[in-house]
Amino acid sequence: MRIFESTEQLEENEELLRKQVNLLPEVQKKEFYNRQSKKLKDPDTYAALNWFFLGGLHHCYLGKYALFALELTLLSVSVVGFVLGHSSALLILALLVIYELPQLFFSQKIARQHNYKLSCEIFNDIKRS
């Protein structure tokens, strides 16, 4: 994800895609919106999952299961290590927090970027057919 991409650039890209979709024939336009409505993710839900649940559950919401598994494993290892008194457990936990903080603060943008990418894929697929 390009979390440091400007919001203005993302809005311009979304607007350009909307214009391209509006140029499609009515049948293709309807197909685009039908497929899009089934796959879009709510930015607020993504933000809430990111805020309230540890272990990367928000990655599952966007379909990034490998990243979820990695984060959950690292969190579990750090918790077990902390209970057993290993000093490296705090390092792992600190690195997870450092990695997750930008995702928390930019969660709305990350979900919008995901939706934009998904919409582009749907558009290109419909355009080819």
Query: Left (φ > 0), alpha (ψ -120 to 50) or beta: where does 98 sit?
Result: alpha
In a domain, 2, yes or no: no
pLDDT tens, residue by residue, 95-106:
998 988 888 889
Q: Residue 24 sits in which domain range?
A: 8-128
- Residue at 12 is within a domain: yes
Q: So what's the pLDDT on residue 51?
A: 85
Sequence-separated (6 or more) residues with CB below 8 Å from residue 43? 107, 108, 111, 112, 115
Q: Mean per-residue pLDDT for 56-70?
A: 92
pTM strictly above 0.95 = no
For 62-79, what is the mean pLDDT? Answer: 92
Domain count of the fold of the chain: 1
Report yes or no on 18 lying in a domain: yes
pLDDT tens-digit map of 1-28: 577 778 899 999 999 999 999 999 999 9
Q: Is residue 1 part of a domain?
A: no
